[in-house]
Amino acid sequence: MSDDIRAGFCAIVGLPNVGKSTLLNRILDRHLAAVSAKPQTTRDRILGVHSVALPAPGDGDAVMAQIAYVDTPGVQDGRGPLRRYMRDAALAAADDADVVLLLVDSTDRRGRVPERLAEADAAALGDASRRHPIVIGVNKVDRAAKLELLPVIEAWSSFAPGVEVVPISALTGDGVAALEQAIARRLPLGPALFPADMVTDRSPQFIAQEIIREQLYHQLGKELPYACAVQIESWSEKSAHELAIAAVIAVERESQKAIVVGRGGARIRELGIAARKAISEALGQGRGMTVHLSLFVKVVSEWSRGVAGLRSVGYTAKGES
Ligand SMILES: Nc1nc2c(ncn2[C@@H]2O[C@H](COP(=O)(O)OP(=O)(O)OP(=O)(O)O)[C@@H](O)[C@H]2O)c(=O)[nH]1
Ligand SMILES: [Mg+2]
C-alpha cells in the first residue's frame, strides 16, 4: 500500500429521504444500500469504498484518493428505541469521519435551506459537521428548477467556514464526479485504509437482507415497513452460480403478519419474486446467479419497543456483539 495517497472516511449524513443510499449505490455502481421513496429506509451504517484520481495542481502527477463512504440512517429526533439506534449510528459515523458529506434535497421545502430545518435537526447536523471539513451535496437537481437552485446553493455556502457546495443528481450521476473530487481533496494524506479491491465491509447476507427489506418498503403500505425486520436464517451456496436463501420477516403483531403474507400468500410471493431477482442481480454482478429464496413471516411481539427486542431481530448497538 502506497504512502502518498489521500485516504479517509466520509460520512454521508442528512435528513431522511434526501438520497444518501442512492448516492452510495451510484458511486459504487452497485446495489448495496436499500433505497425507497419512504423516509427512514436505512437503519445501519454501511461502508462503501471507492477510489478516484485527484488531478494535481499544475503539471504534477495525479494523486490517488481512497474514499471510505459511510451511509447512515437519516438524522432525526430520537423517539423510541429504533429511532435512537438509527440516530446514534448516524452521529457516530459523522464523529468518526475525516470529511462529512451533508446531503440536502433541493426539492424538499422543509430541509433545503438551513433556516428551514427544525431546530433539533439543525443541531444534530451542525454537531456532525462542526469538527470535520464539510462538503454539501445539493441533490435531486434533475427535478429542481434552475432558478430555484441558486438561492439554495447560496444559502448552504455559508453553513460552515470552508464549506464547498456541489449540486448533484444521485439518480442520473450528474455532478457526482465533482462531488467526489471535493471530498477527496479534503482527506488526509496517508496509506490506503483498505485493500484496493474492497468495496464494502458488508457480507452478501447483509446485502440480501437489505434487498428484502427494500421490497417491503416498496410493496407494503405506509406504516408497515417500519414494523418489519429481516433476518437471514440459512444460506447455502450450492455452486458458484446457485444460491439458496431462507429469510424470516419479523413483524410485531398477528394482524401485520396477515397483511405481509397476503390473501392466499399472494403478497409474500410477489415480495419473493422481486427480491430474488434483485438479489441475483446484486450478488451475481452480471455473471448470472440463480437464487432460490424462501421467505417466512414470524411475529416477534413488539420487537421495536426495547433494546432486547431490537437485539432479537439483529440490531446490535456499537460495542455489543
Ligand atoms: N429525482 C431524484 N430522486 C432521487 C435522487 N436521489 C434519490 N432519489 C429518490 O429519493 C428517495 C429516497 O432515496 P434514498 O436513497 O432511500 O434516501 P436516503 O437519504 O438514503 O433515505 P433514508 O435511508 O430513509 O434516510 C428514493 O425514492 C430515490 O429514488 C435524485 O438525484 N433525483
Ligand atoms: Mg438510506
The CATH number given to whatever domain includes residue 60 is 3.40.50.300
pLDDT reported for residue 297: 95
Q: Are residues 213 and 283 located together in one domain of the fold?
A: yes
Q: Tell me whether residue 319 is in a domain.
A: no
Q: Which ligand is nearest to the CA of 174?
A: 1
Length of the chain measured in residues: 321
Atom from ligand 1 closest to the CA of residue 14: 19
| CA 234 – ligand 1 centroid, Å | 31
The pLDDT value recorded for residue 157 is 92
Residues 244 and 162 in one domain: no
Are 173 and 219 within one domain?
A: no
CA of 105 to the centre of ligand 1 (A): 9
In 3D space, the residue among 4, 27, 6, 42 whose CA is nearest the CA of residue 225 turns out to be 42
The answer to whether residue 321 sits within a structural domain is no
Read out DSSP for 141-205?
GGGS-HHHHHHHHHHHHTSSTT-EEEE--TTT-TTHHHHHHHHHHTSPEE--SS-TT--BSS-HH
Q: Is residue 73 part of a domain?
A: yes
Cell 437489505 sits on residue: 210
Ligand 2 centre from 309 Cα, in Å? 22
Same structural domain, 168 and 248: no
Q: Do residues 183 and 249 share a domain? A: no
How far apart CA 253 and CA 256 sit, in angstroms, is 5
Q: Which residues line ligand 1 (CB under 6 A)?
A: 16-22, 35-37, 39-42, 73-74, 139-140, 142-143, 169-171
The residue whose CA is least distant from atom 2 of ligand 1 is 140
Q: Which ligand is nearest to the CA of 170?
A: 1
Which atom of ligand 1 lies at the shortest distance from residue 74's CA?
Answer: 25
- pLDDT of amino acid 79: 66
C-alpha angle 40-46-49 in degrees, rounded to nearest 5: 140
- The ligand with the least distance to the CA atom of 141 is 1
Instruction: Give residue 215 CA to ligand 1 midpoint distance, Å.
Output: 15
- Annotate 91-128 with DSSP letters as a single string: HHHHHH-SEEEEEEETT-TTTSSGGGS-HHHHHHHHHH
Query: Could you tell me which residues are beta bridge partners of residue 296?
Result: 248
Query: Given ligand 1 and candidates 12, 15, 17, 71, which is best to mutate, with the most ligand atoms within 8 Å of its CB?
Result: 17
- Comparing C-alpha atoms, which of 227, 230, 192, 233 is closest to residue 211? 230
User: What amino acid occupies position 111?
Assistant: G
| Three-class secondary structure of residue 278 per DSSP | helix
Tell me whether residue 179 is in a domain: yes
Question: Same domain for 166 and 24?
Answer: yes
Q: Kindly state whether residues 11 and 55 are assigned to the same domain.
A: yes
Question: Is the Cβ–Cβ distance between 29 and 69 less than 8 Å?
Answer: no
Whether residue 64 is found in the same domain as residue 138: yes
Beta bridge partners of 242: 239, 290
146 and 67 in one domain? yes
**148 lies in some domain:** yes
- Residue 82's pLDDT is what? 72
CATH of the domain at 223: 3.30.300.20
Instruction: Note whether 28 and 124 are same-domain residues.
Output: yes
Question: Closest ligand to 25 CA?
Answer: 1
Q: Which three cell numbers stand for residue 180?
A: 467526489
Give residues with Cβ within 8 angstroms of 242, minimum separation 6.
289, 290, 291, 292
Same domain, 23 and 102: yes
Domain-embedded: residue 199:
no
Which one of 168, 190, 212 terminates a domain? 190
Q: 190, 220, 242: which is the final residue of a domain?
A: 190
- From atom 8 of ligand 1, which residue's Cα is the shortest distance away? 19
Structural domain ending residue among the three candidates 167, 190, 213: 190
Q: How far is the CA of 44 from the centre of ligand 1 (A)?
A: 16
Q: Which domain holds residue 268?
A: 204-312
Whether 224 and 164 map to the same domain: the answer is no
| 95/99 Cα distance (integer angstroms) | 10
What string of pLDDT tens digits covers the 321 residues of the chain?
A: 446 799 999 999 888 899 999 999 999 999 999 998 887 787 878 999 999 999 887 777 889 999 999 998 877 665 677 777 777 777 778 888 999 898 999 998 877 888 877 776 677 667 766 778 889 999 999 999 888 899 999 999 988 788 999 999 999 999 999 999 999 999 999 999 999 999 999 999 999 999 999 999 999 988 888 889 999 999 999 988 899 999 999 999 999 999 999 999 999 999 999 999 999 999 987 677 899 999 999 998 888 877 888 887 777 765 444
Atom of ligand 1 at shortest distance to CA of 174?
31
Query: Cell numbers at residue 145, please?
Result: 428548477
Q: What is the Å distance from ligand 2's center to 245 Cα? A: 24
Residue ranges with strand state E in 213-314: 229-239, 242-251, 290-299
Residue 185's pLDDT is 95
Give the number of whichever ligand sits closest to the CA of residue 23.
1
**Residue 66 falls within a domain, yes or no?**
yes
Distance 15 CA to ligand 2 centre (A): 10
From ligand 1's centre to the CA of 304, what distance in Å? 24
Q: What is the pLDDT of residue 1?
A: 46
Q: State the distance from the centre of ligand 1 to the C-alpha of 236, rounded, in angstroms.
A: 32
Pocket test of ligand 1: the residue of 12, 35, 86, 210 to mutate, having most ligand atoms within 8 Å of its CB, is 35
Q: How many domains does the chain have?
A: 2
The answer as to whether 255 is a domain residue is yes
